């Protein structure tokens, strides 16, 4: 195969194997021509996205050296499947090796990009950045934009705002990616304290005319970020306008309403501040903005000298926070009981492990409402994936553990049956004298050679012919035939004629008979050779079988503790992974509880202050 | 009031994020290494199972494959060896699709004595014009000493616009 074609075909294959990652699993490519059935079997599972059985079969076929026609493709497929299976570190090693040379730069760059993306989502920021640095050429436009965003996002996460800003600065255009880039620069500028510079960018975004829901949401986000940045910068008047641009119904509306209220409050306009805050009162208490508004309302009322109303609102807030805090406690207890995460995956069949799995629906129950936004985070999703994969591994090992016991029993039974049959087989083999048969066959050969050489046609006569011959020669020697009478001469002539006819017939059939006997002897010889070969095989099998049993028993004995050992480690990892997910979830809930505690303390202090003022006013009036 | 709480929360959150990212990575590396070990273990168990249940001397594997599949939509395959039905497999849409894309399905494994054997494969599905279709293919094969692989291939006969069922022996 010319090198050019080899490279091209490898490129196509890489795309095929990365297809689920790159294009989604529904992509249709030209069927691959299979030359080793085991390779086709791997593809059968791969195309169904059953990566675990596909990987096992591929590794087994490699071990058995049954992929001779597909060695290169098998390696690429292995890398692609490791990636699909979420085994990204091993996949990267394979790709690093295969992508080192002989692969088109475009494919290599794409592969590095996808690895970078996966590593970023898994929190391997250093590896993600390293993978991005390997990209040498220009990626296709849509991937190029995503790669740039990814690069900038990694820098933002690392706090390197200026470098991130520099990377995103030259990005123009009216695409969604450009809008996201602008937003990210704006956020980076705010974080680095350059509010004025951020304000221009975020304001542009906040005033854009969005053409889809995603951009509308981004516009709200930009307005919210700008509003709060200006509020914190002491510019309440300027903050109001962007905050008021946020939609009244949407994921950012509560925070925006709260901010508008604070902007008015900062300008001592408490009447106006109460309008958005009162709107928040009827909304979901889970939202921190709604919680905060429950303190903000009495704060404004107190400022407006509605002391009694303010005290009522503080009392209501304290009561509501107390109840919410109790609910959080119950939820934390349930999560810590360990059942919660099993409910997450309980209704989901464990057949498609790996990269593409995402939890689509939250399990029902009070926890879900507290944690829904946790699911949007990579860390929680990836943690759940790992938890799910570990559960799959655990069940897999559990099944093998049962099977291996069955295999051990099976081997034992076979060994017993073999030991029982062996003496009978040996006895019957001993009674078959194959060597004696061979000797007899050789003797026959020698006899036939003599017959042929001496042209002994009588030797090949049938029994009746031989008897007839005997009778004729017997008659020849009858003394009466030697009498000098015409009858004797006549009988002698007849005997001679009969003898002559018989001899003529025997001589005529001699060659044919010789050929037939020789053919039968040859067939006998072949049958004897087959028998000897079979015998050798039986001897070999009898020699090998105990070794085979020994080898299989040793493997079973070795695998059994191996399964047990790994199963224990998987169990431990499951418990640690569950602990990790629990700690994220309870950490999140605890943070909500801490916030409520702080609000409760603030409410109590404010209430005490109100009572003080009321008491002081009462004393003064007395 | 708002700024104090927000600052405390932001600081806490950053610290928590950094800590949990580190913890996640350490756990993830453990999970990766366990995945590798379980895969290797499954490979060894798969090979052991095959050698134990189907020793190379008597092993015969039957594979199903398809080429384009334009004139035939596979529903099921029945396999008879020496007149005895040994496998009857019903294909899901997903499996049939995997076959069309180049996958090969090991539909049956058997232990057979050396010598001559007869294989009959019956394919059912939808033929041209979405009509129910049932066809058989027969082959005599010689089982030698080593493992034997037989492939039952469904291919399109473009000239006749009909499916064709071929049995191949892999060496």
Mean of per-residue pLDDT scores for chain A: 83
Which site among B104, B108, B149, B167 would you substitute to test the A interface, given the most A Cβ atoms closer than 10 Å to its Cβ? Answer: B104
- Last residue of one domain, picked from the residues A337, A352, A368: A337
Which of A57, A87, A299 is closest, CB to CB, to B32?
A87
Residues near A425 by beta carbon (within 8 Å), at least 6 away in sequence:
A538, A542
Query: Is the same domain home to A324 and A463?
Result: no
Shared domain for A593 and A511, answered yes or no, is yes
Q: Which residues of A touch B62 (CB under 8 A)?
A: none
CA distance linking residue A171 with residue A174, whole number of Å: 10
Closest Cα to residue A310, out of A286, A274, A279?
A274
Q: Is residue A365 part of a domain?
A: no
Return d(Cα A510, Cα A459) in angstroms, integer.
9
CA quadruple A307, A308, A313, A318: dihedral sign: positive
- What's the pLDDT score for residue A371? 73
* A317: in domain: yes
Confidence of residue A357 (pLDDT cuts 50, 70, 90): low
Q: Do A41 and B99 touch (CB under 8 A)?
A: no
User: Which tens digits make up the pLDDT trace of A85-125?
Assistant: 778 888 888 877 777 666 677 777 887 888 888 888 777 88
Residue B171 to residue A448: CA distance in whole angstroms: 43
Rounded to whole angstroms, the Cα distance separating A620 from A167 reads: 66
- Residue A326 shares a structural domain with residue A468: no
Of residues A46, A397, A583, nearest to B38 (C-beta): A397
Question: Is there a single domain that holds both residue A614 and residue A483?
Answer: yes
| ipTM of the complex as predicted | 0.91
Q: So what's the pLDDT on residue A6?
A: 38
Which H or E run contains A383?
A: helix A378-431
Instruction: Kindly state whether residues A455 and A543 are assigned to the same domain.
Output: yes
Which distant-in-sequence residues (6+ apart) come within 8 Å of A19 by Cβ? Answer: A25, A27, A29
Residue A390 within a domain = no
Residues A528-532, mean pLDDT to the nearest whole number: 90
Choose among B73, B79, B72, B85: nearest CA to B150: B79
Position A512 pLDDT exceeds 90: yes
Interface of A with B in 292-321 (CB under 8 A): 292, 295-296, 299
CA distance A293 to A255: 10
Low-confidence ranges of chain B (pLDDT < 70): 1-14, 16-17, 68-69, 158-159, 171
Share of chain A above pLDDT 70, in %: 88
Q: Is A279 exposed, middle or buried (0-12, 13-18, 19+ CB in 10 A)?
A: middle
A61-84 pLDDT tens trace: 999 888 888 887 788 788 888 887
- Chosen for mutation from B37, B103, B171 (greatest number of chain A CBs closer than 10 Å) is B103
A32 in reach of chain B (CB within 8 A) = yes
Q: Which of A495, A80, A412, A464 is nearest to B52 (CA)?
A: A412
Look at residue A286 and tell me if it is in a domain.
yes
Q: Are A317 and A294 in contact (CB under 8 A)?
A: yes
Q: What is the pLDDT of residues A130-175, one digit of tens each?
A: 888 888 877 777 778 788 888 888 887 777 777 877 777 776 665 6
Residue of B nearest to A41 (CA): B104
Single residue among A337, A370, A385 that ends a domain in this structure:
A337
Spell A552-576 as b/e; 16+ CB within 10 A means b: beebbeebbebbeebbebbeebbeb
End-to-end CA distance of chain A: 108
A600 plus A473 within the same structural domain = yes
Question: A-B interface: how many C-beta pairs under 8 angstroms?
Answer: 187
- Name which of A34, A40, A405 to mutate to probe chain B: the one with the most chain B Cβ atoms within 10 A of its Cβ: A40
Residue B115: closest CA among B73, B78, B151, B82 = B82
Longest dimension (CA), chain B: 90
Nearest CB neighbour to A295, from listed B1, B49, B106: B1
> Tens digits of per-residue pLDDT, A31-43?
567 788 899 999 9
The reported pLDDT for the residue numbered A503 is 92
Q: Which of A48, A389, A598 sits opposite B31 (nearest CB)?
A: A389
Do A451 and A579 lie in one domain? The reply is yes
* Residue A354 to residues A44, A80, A173, A351, B103, Cα–Cα distance (Å): 18, 12, 36, 10, 21
Neighbours of A68 (CB within 10 A): 10
Measured distance CA(A255)–CA(A153) in Å, rounded: 24
Q: Is A394 on the interface with B (CB under 8 A)?
A: no
Residues A607 and A496 grouped into a single domain: yes
Please report the pLDDT score of residue A616 as a whole number.
80
Indicate whether A4 pLDDT > 60: no
Same-domain pairing of A460 and A594? yes
Q: Is A244 on the interface with B (CB under 8 A)?
A: no
Determine contact: A124 vs chain B, CB below 8 A: yes
Mark whether A452 and A326 lie in a shared domain. no
What is the value of pTM for the model shown? 0.75
A429-483 pLDDT, tens digit each: 888 888 899 999 999 999 999 999 999 999 999 999 999 999 998 888 888 887 7
**If you count DSSP H runs as helices and E runs as strands, how many of each does chain B have, helices first?**
2, 8
Domain coverage including residue A433: 403-621
Residue A174 lies in a domain: no
A297-337 tens-digit pLDDT: 999 998 888 888 899 999 999 999 999 899 889 888 888 88
Of B2, B25, B145, the CB nearest to A123: B25
Domain termination site, one of A337, A367, A387 = A337
* Whether residues A529 and A415 fall in one domain: yes
* Chain B CA closest to residue A229: B3
Structural domains counted in chain A: 2
Residue A470 lies in a domain: yes
Both A419 and A314 in one domain: the answer is: no
| Residues of chain B neighbouring A40 (CB-CB closer than 8 A) | 63, 65, 102-104
Which residue do the tokens 């105990």 mark?
A: A546
How do residues A230-278 score in pLDDT, each as one tens digit? Answer: 998 889 999 999 999 999 888 889 999 999 999 999 999 999 999 999 9
pLDDT tens per residue, range B38-71: 999 999 999 999 998 998 888 999 999 988 667 7
Cβ contact, residue pair A573, B34, below 8 Å? yes
Counting DSSP H helices and E strands in chain A, the numbers are: 24, 0
Residue of B nearest to A127 (CA): B25
8 Å CB contact between B66 and B100: yes
- In this structure, is residue A91 part of a structural domain? no
Nearest of A49, A54, A128 to residue A88 by alpha carbon: A128
Kindly state whether A566 is in contact with chain B, defined as any CB-CB distance less than 8 angstroms.
Answer: yes
Name residue, tokens 């992929």.
A67
């Amino acid at each position: 195969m010319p090198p050019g074609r080899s490279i091209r075909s490898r490129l196509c294959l890489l795309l095929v194997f990365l297809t689920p990652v790159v294009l989604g699993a529904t992509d249709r490519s030209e069927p691959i021509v299979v030359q080793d059935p085991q390779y086709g079997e791997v593809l059968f599972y791969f195309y169904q996205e059953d990566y675990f059985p596909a990987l096992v079969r591929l590794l087994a076929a490699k071990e058995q050296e049954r992929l001779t026609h597909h060695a290169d493709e098998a390696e690429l497929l292995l890398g692609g499947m490791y990636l699909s299976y979420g085994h990204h570190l091993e996949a990267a090693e394979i790709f690093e090796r295969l992508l080192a040379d002989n692969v088109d730069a475009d494919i290599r760059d794409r592969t590095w990009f996808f690895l970078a993306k996966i590593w970023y989502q898994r929190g391997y920021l250093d590896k993600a950045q390293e993978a991005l640095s390997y990209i040498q050429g220009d990626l296709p436009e849509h991937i190029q934009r995503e790669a740039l965003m990814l690069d900038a996002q990694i820098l933002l996460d690392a706090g390197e705002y200026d470098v991130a800003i520099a990377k995103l600065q030259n990005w123009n255009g009216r695409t969604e990616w450009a809008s996201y880039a602008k937003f990210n620069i704006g956020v980076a500028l705010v974080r680095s304290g350059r509010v004025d510079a951020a304000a221009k960018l975020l304001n542009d975004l906040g005033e854009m005319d969005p053409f889809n829901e995603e951009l509308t949401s981004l516009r709200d986000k930009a307005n919210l970020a700008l509003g709060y940045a200006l509020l914190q910068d002491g510019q309440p008047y300027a903050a109001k306008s962007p905050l008021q641009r946020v939609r009244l119904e949407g994921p950012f509306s509560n925070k925006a309403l709260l901010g508008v209220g604070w902007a008015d409050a900062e300008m001592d306009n408490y009447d106006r501040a109460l309008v958005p805050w009162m709107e928040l009162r009827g909304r979901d208490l889970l939202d921190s903005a709604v919680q905060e508004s429950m303190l903000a309302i009495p704060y404004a009322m107190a400022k407006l000298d509605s002391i009694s109303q303010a005290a009522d609102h503080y009392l209501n807030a304290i009561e509501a926070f107390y109840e919410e805090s109790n609910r959080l406690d119950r939820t934390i207890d349930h999560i810590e009981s360990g059942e919660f995460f099993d409910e997450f995956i309980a209704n989901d069949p464990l057949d498609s492990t790996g990269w593409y799995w995402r939890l689509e629906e939250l399990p029902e129950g009070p926890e879900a409402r507290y944690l829904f936004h946790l699911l949007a985070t990579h860390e929680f999703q990836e943690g759940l994936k790992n938890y799910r994969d570990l559960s799959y591994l655990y069940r897999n090992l559990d099944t093998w553990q049962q099977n291996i016991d069955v295999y051990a029993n099976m081997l034992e039974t076979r060994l017993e049956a073999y030991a029982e049959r062996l003496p009978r087989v040996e006895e019957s083999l001993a009674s078959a004298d194959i060597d004696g048969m061979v000797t007899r066959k050789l003797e026959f050969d020698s006899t036939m050679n003599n017959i042929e050489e001496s042209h002994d046609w009588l030797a090949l006569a049938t029994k009746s012919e031989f008897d007839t011959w005997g009778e004729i020669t017997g008659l020849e020697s009858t003394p009466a035939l030697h009498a000098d009478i015409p009858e004797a001469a006549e009988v002698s002539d007849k005997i001679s004629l009969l003898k002559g006819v018989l001899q003529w017939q025997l001589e005529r059939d001699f060659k044919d008979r010789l050929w037939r006997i020789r053919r039968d002897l040859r067939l006998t010889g072949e049958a004897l050779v087959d028998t000897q070969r079979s015998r050798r095989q039986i001897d070999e099998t009898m020699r090998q079988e105990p070794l085979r049993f020994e080898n299989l028993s040793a493997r079973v004995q070795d695998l059994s503790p191996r399964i047990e050992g790994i199963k224990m480690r998987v169990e431990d990892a499951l418990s640690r992974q569950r602990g990790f997910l629990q700690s994220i979830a309870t950490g999140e809930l605890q943070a909500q509880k801490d916030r409520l505690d702080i609000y409760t303390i603030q409410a109590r202090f404010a209430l005490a202050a109100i009572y003080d003022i009321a008491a002081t006013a009462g004393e003064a009036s007395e | 009031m708002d700024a104090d709480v927000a600052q405390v929360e932001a600081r806490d959150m950053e610290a928590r994020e950094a800590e949990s990212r580190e913890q996640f990575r350490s756990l993830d590396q453990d999970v990766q290494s366990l995945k590798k070990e379980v895969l290797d273990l499954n490979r060894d168990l798969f090979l052991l199972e095959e050698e134990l249940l189907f020793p190379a001397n008597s092993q015969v594997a039957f594979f199903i494959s398809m080429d384009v599949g334009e004139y035939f939509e596979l529903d099921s395959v029945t396999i008879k060896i020496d007149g005895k039905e040994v496998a009857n497999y019903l294909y899901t849409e997903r499996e049939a699709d995997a076959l069309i894309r180049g996958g090969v399905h090991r539909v049956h494994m058997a232990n057979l004595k050396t010598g001559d054997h007869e294989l009959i494969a019956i394919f059912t599905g939808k033929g041209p014009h979405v009509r129910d279709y049932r066809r058989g293919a027969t082959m005599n094969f010689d089982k030698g000493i080593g493992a034997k692989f037989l492939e039952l291939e469904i291919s399109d006969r473009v000239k006749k616009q009909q499916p064709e069922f071929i049995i191949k022996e892999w060496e």
